[in-house]
């Protein structure tokens, strides 16, 4: 069974943009620099929370740029930081997702088999057997 190599992944990104760029058309045009925009979240679409615009974007896993730039309506270059809500962990050795090279089973990570040392078995402690005291008919211990 072969594992399919994952090349792109959908990730929610946050952009601290001016409120006027929060429309779907302009927002998608800006995040197209990352790759394929999928959708805005409900709070961005309804403009409920104004801290940042949030967009689900299908991005290539090998390149996650930290900034996007665009020309505003006055012809000025605007540079906006991109915050990824999740960044995939990619192994530099086998190029698979979910682990780093030091934990890689395939690609020569630093893991190696080491024989366990055998601990000497301790001798069990034998406690002396203490006899129960005898009790006569009247309940007196002897």
Beta bridge partners, 10, equal 58
How many whole angstroms separate alpha carbon 89 and alpha carbon 38? 22
pLDDT in tens, 34-90: 999 999 999 999 998 889 999 999 999 878 899 999 999 999 999 999 999 998 888
pLDDT at 134 over 70: yes
Task: Give the residue among 121, 86, 120, 116 at the shortest CA–CA distance from 14.
Answer: 86
pLDDT at 111 over 60: no
Q: How many domains does the chain have?
A: 1
Q: Domain range for residue 30?
A: 8-103
Question: CA geometry: angle at 69 spanning 56 and 89, to 5°?
Answer: 45
Task: Give the residue among 90, 94, 89 at the shortest CA–CA distance from 105.
Answer: 94
- For residue 122, tell me if it sits in a domain: no
- For residue 115, tell me if it sits in a domain: no
Lowest model confidence (mean pLDDT) among 13-22, 25-34, 100-109: 100-109
Task: Give the residue among 30, 36, 87 at the shortest CA–CA distance from 59.
Answer: 36
In this prediction, residue 108 carries a pLDDT of 55
How many whole angstroms separate alpha carbon 5 and alpha carbon 95? 8
In this prediction, residue 107 carries a pLDDT of 61
pLDDT at 110 over 60: no
- For residue 137, tell me if it sits in a domain: no
In this prediction, residue 3 carries a pLDDT of 66
- For residue 126, tell me if it sits in a domain: no
In this prediction, residue 123 carries a pLDDT of 75
pLDDT at 97 over 90: no
């Amino acid at each position: 069974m072969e594992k399919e190599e994952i090349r792109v992944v959908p990730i929610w990104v946050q952009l601290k943009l001016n409120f006027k760029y929060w429309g779907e058309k302009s927002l998608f045009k800006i995040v197209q620099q990352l790759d394929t925009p999928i959708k805005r979240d409900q709070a961005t679409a309804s403009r409920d929370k104004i801290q940042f615009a949030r967009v689900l974007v299908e991005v290539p896993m090998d390149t996650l740029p930290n900034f996007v730039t665009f020309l505003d309506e006055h012809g000025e270059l605007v540079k906006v930081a991109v915050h990824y809500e999740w960044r995939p962990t990619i192994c530099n050795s086998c190029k698979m997702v979910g682990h780093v090279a030091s934990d890689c089973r395939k690609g020569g990570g630093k893991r190696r088999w080491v024989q366990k040392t055998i601990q000497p078995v301790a001798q069990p402690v034998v406690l002396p057997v203490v006899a129960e005291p005898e009790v006569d008919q009247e309940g007196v211990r002897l």
